[in-house]
C-alpha cells in the first residue's frame, strides 16, 4: 500500500470519531476553568457509534472525565468492548484520584481515542500503558480545536508557570489614572462587570503594593448585584511593602498571598507550585509594565474608555523598548463594545502565545 493510501485510511479512521470528540469538548467546557486541573470531557461509544455514556472532570479532587463517564453506566461490565473518546490522553498517574489508563483497562474498553497527548511529566504515558494492555489507541482527533480550547492550561504546564493575562482600563489616550492618582472609575458598569467575570475565571489576581495603598481594592469577583460569585481567585500582592493591617484585601474570602518581593519569576514559580494555572494581573502600571517587560504577558485584556486625561499616569511605563521595530506586537482576537467602552483581547505574537488557527 502506498503512503497516500495509508494516510487516507488513517483519516477515515479518525473522521469516524469527530462528532463524538466535538461532544466530548462540549462536555469538557462544563468543568471549572480554574483549580489547577485541565477541563476534560469523555464519551463512551458502542459498536454502532452511539453515545452510551458521558462524563467530564468536575474539578480537582473529583473523578476524571473517563471515570465520570464509566460511572454513569448501569453496570460496570457494560463498559466491555466500548470505545472511549476523550479530549486529553488518559492520565497514568495517581494523584488524589487513580490513573485513568488503569480504570479504562480494568473496565475492559476496546479502544481509546483522544485529541491531545497529556503534557504533564508525571501524568503522561497513559497511551503506552493502554496499548501494552491490548487496547487500541488512536490519537490526534480534533487536535487543533482541543489545543485552542486548552491553550492556557497547556501553556502553563509546558512552561512551568501560570498563564498570565494583563488587564488594564485606560482612557483613549492611554492614561490609567488622573494626575492626583484617582482611577475609579475610568470605565463604565458593563466593562467593570466583565472584569468581575474575568476575575472569576482566574486562579489568582496579581496587584502591586502601589495600587493597594492608592485604592484599597477588595479584588473580589462580584455579580451585577454586588454578590460574591461562586469562585474567588486568591489575591497576590507584589512588592516589598507590607499590606496594611486594615486593608480590605485582608478580608478577602480566598485569603491573601503577600509576597514582600518584586521577583516576578520566583513569584510565578511559587504560584505554579501551588497549582495556580491562570493569573490575572490587575496592575497598577508599574507592576503591569514589569510583567510585560519580562515577557510574562501571554494575553492582554484592555478596556478603553472614551475619556481623555493627558498627564503622566500612563497605563504602561517604560518597557525597555528603544525603537519601533522592537515594539511588542499583539494579535487582537476579540474587539467588543461594552456600554461606551471598548474591550480588546490580544496575544503577544513574539512569545508565541497566540493559539494556533484551525
Ligand X SMILES: NC(=O)c1ccc[n+]([C@@H]2O[C@H](COP(=O)([O-])OP(=O)(O)OC[C@H]3O[C@@H](n4cnc5c(N)ncnc54)[C@H](OP(=O)(O)O)[C@@H]3O)[C@@H](O)[C@H]2O)c1
Q: Which residues bind ligand X (CB under 6 A)?
A: 168-170, 176-177, 181, 183, 186, 207-211, 214-215, 238-241, 262, 264, 282-287, 290
User: With contact defined as beta carbons under 8 Å apart, do 91 and 126 qualify?
Assistant: yes
* Residue 66 vs 198, nearer CB to ligand X: 198
Least separation in angstroms between residue 178's CB and ligand X is: 8
Min. distance of Cβ 278 from ligand X in angstroms? 19
From the list 66, 145, 198, 200, the catalytic residue is 66
Q: Which is nearer to ligand X, 129 or 167 (CB)?
A: 167
Q: Which residue is listed with cell 467602552?
A: 341
Distance CA(314)–CA(337), nearest Å, equals 22
- Listed in sequence order, the residues at least 6 apart from 133 whose beta carbon sits closer than 8 Å to its beta carbon are 101, 105
- Count other C-beta atoms under 10 Å from residue 177's C-beta: 25
Q: Considering the complex, state which of residue 26 and residue 270 has its C-beta at the smaller distance from ligand X.
A: 270
Q: Nearest Cα to 23, choosing from 110, 104, 86, 89?
A: 86
Query: Of 149 and 296, which has the nearer Cβ to ligand X?
Result: 296
Shortest distance in whole angstroms from residue 285 CB to ligand X? 4
Smallest gap from Cβ 151 to ligand X, in A, equals: 25
Q: Which is nearer to ligand X, 53 or 176 (CB)?
A: 176
C-alpha closest to that of 264 among 208, 210, 320, 323: 208
Nearer to ligand X, 138 or 214 (CB): 214
| Distance in Å, CB of 144 to ligand X, minimum | 34
Q: Reply yes or no on whether 270 is catalytic.
A: no
DSSP annotation of 233 reads: P
Across the beta sheet with 204-208, what order do the strands follow? Answer: 257-258, 234-238, 204-208, 278-281, 163-171, 299-305, 341-348, 330-338
DSSP string, 106-123: HHT-SEEEEEE----TTT
Give the integer Cα–Cα distance in Å for 92 and 126: 5
Shortest separation between residue 207's beta carbon and ligand X, angstroms: 6
Q: Cα Rg for the chain, rounded, in angstroms?
A: 23
Q: Give 28: exposed, middle or buried? Use CB within 10 Å, 0-12, 13-18, 19+.
A: buried
Q: Which three cell numbers stand for residue 166?
A: 494583563
Active site residues: 66
Amino acid at each position: 500500500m502506498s503512503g497516500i493510501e495509508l494516510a487516507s485510511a488513517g483519516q477515515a479512521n479518525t473522521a469516524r470519531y469527530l462528532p463524538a470528540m466535538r461532544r466530548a469538548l462540549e462536555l469538557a467546557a462544563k468543568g471549572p476553568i480554574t483549580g489547577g486541573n485541565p477541563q476534560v470531557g469523555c464519551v463512551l461509544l458502542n459498536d454502532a457509534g452511539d453515545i452510551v455514556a458521558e462524563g467530564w472532570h468536575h474539578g480537582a479532587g473529583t473523578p476524571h472525565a473517563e471515570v465520570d463517564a464509566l460511572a454513569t453506566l448501569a453496570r460496570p461490565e457494560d463498559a466491555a468492548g466500548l470505545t472511549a473518546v476523550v479530549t486529553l490522553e488518559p492520565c497514568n498517574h495517581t494523584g488524589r484520584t487513580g490513573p485513568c489508563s488503569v480504570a479504562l483497562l480494568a473496565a475492559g474498553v476496546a479502544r481509546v481515542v483522544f485529541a491531545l497527548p497529556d503534557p504533564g511529566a508525571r501524568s503522561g504515558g497513559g497511551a503506552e500503558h493502554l496499548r501494552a494492555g491490548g487496547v487500541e489507541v488512536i490519537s490526534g482527533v480534533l487536535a487543533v480545536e482541543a489545543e485552542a480550547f486548552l491553550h492556557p492550561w497547556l501553556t502553563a504546564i509546558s512552561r512551568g508557570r501560570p498563564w498570565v493575562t494583563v488587564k488594564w482600563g485606560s482612557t483613549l489616550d492611554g492614561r490609567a489614572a488622573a494626575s492626583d492618582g484617582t482611577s475609579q472609575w475610568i470605565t463604565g458598569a458593563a466593562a467593570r462587570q466583565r472584569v468581575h467575570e474575568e476575575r472569576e475565571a482566574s486562579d489568582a489576581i496579581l496587584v502591586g503594593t502601589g495600587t493597594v495603598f492608592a485604592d484599597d481594592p477588595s479584588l473580589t469577583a462580584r455579580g451585577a448585584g454586588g454578590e460574591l460569585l461562586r469562585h474567588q481567585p486568591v489575591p497576590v500582592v507584589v512588592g516589598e511593602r507590607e499590606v496594611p493591617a486594615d486593608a480590605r484585601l485582608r478580608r478577602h474570602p480566598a485569603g491573601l498571598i503577600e509576597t514582600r518581593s518584586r521577583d516576578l519569576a520566583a513569584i510565578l514559580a511559587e504560584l505554579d507550585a501551588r497549582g495556580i494555572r491562570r493569573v490575572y494581573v490587575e496592575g497598577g502600571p508599574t507592576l503591569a509594565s514589569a510583567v510585560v517587560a519580562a515577557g510574562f504577558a501571554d494575553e492582554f485584556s484592555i478596556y478603553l474608555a472614551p475619556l481623555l486625561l493627558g498627564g503622566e499616569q500612563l497605563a504602561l511605563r517604560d518597557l525597555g523598548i528603544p525603537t519601533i521595530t522592537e515594539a511588542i506586537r499583539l494579535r487582537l482576537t476579540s474587539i467588543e463594545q461594552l456600554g461606551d467602552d471598548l474591550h480588546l483581547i490580544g496575544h503577544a505574537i513574539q512569545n508565541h502565545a497566540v493559539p494556533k488557527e484551525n
